[in-house]
Every structure is written in structure tokens, then in C-alpha cells.
Amino acid sequence: MGIIRKTKAVTTVLQIFEQKKEAQSVVHLIELVKDKMNKTTVYRILDRLEADGIIHSFNGKDGLKWYAKCNGCSAEHHTDKHPHFQCTECDKVECLSVEIKIPSIKNHEVASTDILLTGRCEVCSV
């Protein structure tokens, strides 16, 4: 894996995550940088950043892939076991800093969880 080379393209993608706290969908990310790099490059960078413990991915509504910044993860170990919230009105996705108790299942080893809560965000629910 190793530390990611800070190419211009990598920096551009990283900046998006530094600037906005919200999660970004793959489709949106590609759209944001479409003048600077092609789709394949975006996918490759996202893969590398995830492998390096910088961002994490999860599935949103309609099976769309989303990415958000990690907090204290490393290349060896992702610790993002938090659920995500997707607003059904504005489609905004947030990482929720709440802990979800994962049930232990007999003879099964749980490696990851993908919990998506949907509803209205604080802006849309007023």
C-alpha cells in the first residue's frame, strides 16, 4: 500500500474532502473534477485514499457509492463503524458520530457494517 504519492490529481481530490465535511458521492466527485482528470483517475485515487486510511466508502440510496473523510484511520485499519444519514429531501449525506452496537452472531465473524439511515436533515426538517 504505502503512502500515497501527492500528485496534483490526488491533492485536488483530497482538497474536496478537506473543504467539505459532508460525504461526497462518486458521481458528484467526478463532476467536480471533470475538467482536471478523467473518471478512471478519480476511481483510482479514491481507491488509493481508501487503502491508505484517509477516506472511507459506503453505499447510499440506490446503491450509489459515497466517500467521506476518515477520523483516525490508518492504512492497516479502518475504524469507521459509524452509521450514515442520507437526507431524502436534499440528498446530503453525513457521517454520524454515534456508536451502533453490532450484534454478535454465533459462528459468524462480522468484518464490516453498512448502516444507512434516511430521513430529513436539520435543514430540511424545519
Nearer to Zn ion, 100 or 124 (CB): 124
Count, residues near Zn ion per rule CB under 5 A: 12
- Written as one string, the DSSP assignment of 4-39 is PP--HHHHHHHHHHHH--S-EEHHHHHHHTTTTS-H
**What is residue 76's DSSP assignment?**
S
Edge-to-edge strands, sheet with 55-59? 24-25, 65-69, 55-59
As measured in angstroms, the least distance from the Cβ of 56 to Zn ion is 4
80 is a contact residue toward Zn ion (CB under 5 A): yes
As measured in angstroms, the least distance from the Cβ of 64 to Zn ion is 15
89 is a contact residue toward Zn ion (CB under 5 A): yes
Chain positions contacting Zn ion, by CB under 5 A: 56, 68, 70, 73, 78, 80, 87, 89-90, 95, 121, 124
